[in-house]
Structure 1
Amino acid sequence: MKNSAVHRLRLVSMPEGVSFVLLLVCSVLKRTTSFDAVPVMGMVHGILFILYVIFALDSWRKQPWTVKHASWVLLLSVIPFGGFYAERLLAREEQEGIAVPA
């Protein structure tokens, strides 16, 4: 049986990671060209980041995660490409049906 809290976190981790990378690309393009998509990508990434944090805290509350594991999942949201690793970590956890230590 899939844990809905971990599943929701897993579903938002990949788009959050993609939006973070796109925001970094848009920031570079803003400074090197006349292309300025930072306001739009900033808002998209901000909404996805807030959802990620809310879902991570909800998963921590509902799962038998240690403080170390929960901190690792939250830290992955601020590392470039961390969302991709978080998705793989959460997929493995969801598939095994138990908490995977970080």
Structure 2
Amino acid sequence: MTLKTKISTFRWISILEGISFLVLLFLAMPLKYFFDLPQMVQIIGMAHGVLFLAYIVGAVLMYSPLNWRPQTLLIAIVCSVIPFGPFYIEKKYL
């Protein structure tokens, strides 16, 4: 797999993880707590969980090929739990 392909794959994982996190926070959670509809949290939560794990694994795998400093990897991991964080990583470091 070429570096360009790795970056492109991680970029897509980052974008999808960021979108799933926002949908979970701003759509699924309000539906669960304000309208007593927990089904959306189950569906979006599972998708987000898979994408979150893929994002973390992807960040660790990108550490060496992109010559990231340890601080950059730490920033990428911390940004995974901040709304809009994965979009920041995608724009700034990829």
User: Normalising by structure 2, what TM-score?
Assistant: 0.85
CA distance in 2, matches of 1:80, 1:9: 18
Q: 1:2 to 1:58 in 2, by over 3 A?
A: closer
User: Normalising by structure 1, what TM-score?
Assistant: 0.79
Per-residue deviation at 1:78? 0.7
CA distance in 2, matches of 1:63, 1:84: 18
Question: For residues 64-75 of structure 1, what are the structure 2 equivalents within 5 Å?
Answer: 64-75=67-78
Q: 1:58 to 1:2 in 2, by over 3 A?
A: closer
Larger RCO (CA within 8 A; separation ≥ 6): 1
CA distance in 2, matches of 1:87, 1:77: 11
Is the contact made by 1:19 and 1:45 (CA closer than 8 Å) also made in structure 2?
A: yes
Is the contact made by 1:17 and 1:80 (CA closer than 8 Å) also made in structure 2?
A: yes
Is the contact made by 2:10 and 2:59 (CA closer than 8 Å) also made in structure 1?
A: yes
CA distance in 2, matches of 1:63, 1:81: 22
One-letter amino acid of the counterpart of residue 18, structure 2: G
Q: State the SS of the aligned residue for 2:67.
A: coil
**What does the per-residue CA deviation read over 1:30-71, in whole Å, with 9 as the maximum and x for residues that have no partner?**
110032211111100001001101111100132211001111
Is the contact made by 2:14 and 2:87 (CA closer than 8 Å) also made in structure 1?
A: yes
CA distance in 1, matches of 2:21, 2:5: 24
Per-residue deviation at 1:2? 4.9
Partner in structure 2 of residue 42 of structure 1: 45
One-letter amino acid of the counterpart of residue 70, structure 1: L
Q: How many residues align?
A: 91
User: Which 5+ residue runs of structure 1 have no aligned equivalent?
Assistant: 92-102
One-letter amino acid of the counterpart of residue 48, structure 2: H
